[in-house]
């Protein structure tokens, strides 16, 4: 089972994996939702603890801490925004500008959970910077590099939908555009090591 979750790095404090699209990051509610990246990795590394999550439909880099002390250190790094994340996405439409930022507060759309929505009255601050990597005229899509400044649930998906360029394959926010998967991949991560006094850089090429 763990063969389905490639392990990219292991040391005494952390584990870095490349989560495949379609696999839950952590267990859901009910017996049928217990299979996930966390349980598969914990079957191999008993001290592995969850630090952050990726959406089930999103693939890419995910970090686990080894033991409670490392978990506290890594969780604090995420909370204090000392972690740099970068994603690759393919979005619908031709994005005209070469780069830009989205600054729109987000909140849960309670009647339609797990959907999130832009909410200027009750939403929490959320910022995403984007940069065009390439444009595909034939398919009418644009490949973007995304750098979230905050880590709200579904942030990248909602922000891109809000500017008129939903991610290809997003069945939750853009069901009219068919694709084999959500074209969103966590491709780069820089994080302070919880023990060694250095930054660790990890990368994973997008599989699309």
DSSP, res 196: S
Phi, psi values for residue 160, rounded to 5° = -70, -40
Q: Which of 11, 18, 47, 55 is catalytic?
A: 55
DSSP, res 125: P
Could you check whether the bond before residue 114 is cis, i.e. omega within 30 degrees of 0?
Answer: yes
Six-digit token string for 75: 């969780």
Please provide the distance, in angstroms rounded to a whole number, between the alpha carbons at the two ends of the chain.
23
103 in catalytic set? no
d(CA 167, CA 173): 8
SS3 category, 166: coil
Positions marked active-site:
55
């Amino acid at each position: 089972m763990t063969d389905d979750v490639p392990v990219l790095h292991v040391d005494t404090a952390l584990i870095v994996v490349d989560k495949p699209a379609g696999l839950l990051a952590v267990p859901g509610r009910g017996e049928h939702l217990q299979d996930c990246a966390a349980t598969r990795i914990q079957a191999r590394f008993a001290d592995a603890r969850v630090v952050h999550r990726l959406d089930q439909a999103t693939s890419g880099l995910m970090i686990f801490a080894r033991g409670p002390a490392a978990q506290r250190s890594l969780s604090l790094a995420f909370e204090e925004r000392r972690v740099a994340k970068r994603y690759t996405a393919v979005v619908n439409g031709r994005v005209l500008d070469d780069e830009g930022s989205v600054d729109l507060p987000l909140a849960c759309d309670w009647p339609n959970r797990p959907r999130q929505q832009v909410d200027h009255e009750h939403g929490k601050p959320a910022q995403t910077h984007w940069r065009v990597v390439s444009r595909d005229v034939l398919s009418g899509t644009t490949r973007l590099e995304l750098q979230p400044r905050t880590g709200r649930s579904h942030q990248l998906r909602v922000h891109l939908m809000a500017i008129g360029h939903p991610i290809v394959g997003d069945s939750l926010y853009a069901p009219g555009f068919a694709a084999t998967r959500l074209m969103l991949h966590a491709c780069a991560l820089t994080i302070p090591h919880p023990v060694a006094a250095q930054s660790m850089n990890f990368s994973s090429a997008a599989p699309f």
